[in-house]
Amino acid sequence: MTNIEQAQFIAAEFGATAQLLEQMAQNSVEQVAAAAEILIDCLLEGRKILIFGNGGSAADAQHFAAELAGRYRLERRALPALALTTDTSMLTAISNDYGFTQVFTRQVEALARPGDTVIGISTSGRSANVIAGLQTAQVLGARTLALIGANITGLAGVADQVISVPSMDTPRIQEAHAVIIHILCDLVEKALVAQSTEPDAQALRTDKPAPGATG
């Protein structure tokens, strides 16, 4: 690849992501707003959020939980959010004893309670263990959200609210999911800070970085 070809490729990749996000800005606002309301209601009711996915979506689940339990932009109380993708003993024990399809189901059964929100992330929308986890969450009375790509034949059927990225390209879907996660965190924080009486609730993260912050 020549320097010119490389430059064209880089510009095209940026352009493809920008085009997808612009499409979502036109067509996906209601989906994201509805998901945010579910999360806000859940947390205001004193419930918790459980999140999971596979591979890059597992990383997104951990990122999502970290922004909520830590903080995104605003100084506020820690929020009860947990990624079910981090405990290697749990993941390997359940996979070994029950099969990988049950790796999230068993954890949801152990942790989810009525009124909690359970979030499944899958670029394909067809991950069997993510579908099974959301199905279990519904049986237990938890609310369910799904972040998926353009394929809505799997997870969409077991989620109370779906955010669908209009693409079949996995990297583009993952990039859009990262933006969606940030938007949801921002909306949740703003809503909870508005409900808070903490004297430092309006302190911006960018005004005074936390000691040792690396994000």
| pLDDT at position 207 over 50 | no
**The model's pTM:** 0.89
Nearest-angstrom CA–CA distance, 139 and 116: 12
Structural tokens at position 98? 């029950």
Q: Spell out the domain ranges in the chain.
A: 29-195
Give the separation between CA 101 and CA 131, rounded to whole angstroms.
9
Look-up: residue for tokens 């954890």?
107
Q: What CATH number has the domain spanning 29-195?
A: 3.40.50.10490
pLDDT tens-digit readout, 81-122: 999 999 999 999 999 999 999 999 999 999 999 999 999 999
List Cβ neighbours of 130 (8 Å cut-off, separation of 6 or more): 52, 53, 54, 57, 104, 120, 121, 122, 146, 155
The span from the CA of 4 to the CA of 79, in Å, is 48
- Through-space distance between the first and last CA atoms of the chain, rounded to whole angstroms: 34
Q: Name the nearest CA neighbour of 48 among 155, 161, 137.
A: 137
Q: pLDDT category, 44, cuts 50, 70, 90?
A: very high
Q: How does pLDDT run across 126-169, given as a tens digit for each residue?
A: 999 999 999 999 999 999 999 999 987 788 889 999 999 999 99
Q: What is the pLDDT of residue 21?
A: 97
Kindly state the tokens that stand for 138. 């519904």
Q: What is the pLDDT at residue 194?
A: 85
Say if residue 199's pLDDT is above 80.
no
Full 3-state SS string of 4-50: HHHHHHHHHHHHHHHHHHHHHHHHCHHHHHHHHHHHHHHHHCCCCEE
pLDDT exceeds 70 at position 180: yes
DSSP string, the chain: --HHHHHHHHHHHHHHHHHHHHHHHHHSHHHHHHHHHHHHHHHHTT--EEEEESTHHHHHHHHHHHHHHS-SSB------EEETT--HHHHHHHHHHH-GGGTTHHHHHHH--TT-EEEEE-SSS--HHHHHHHHHHHHTT-EEEEEE-S--SSGGGG-SEEEE-S---HHHHHHHHHHHHHHHHHHHHHHHHHH---TTTT-BTTTSPPTT---
Predicted pLDDT at 205 = 42
Segment 59-80, tens digit of pLDDT: 999 999 999 999 999 989 999 9
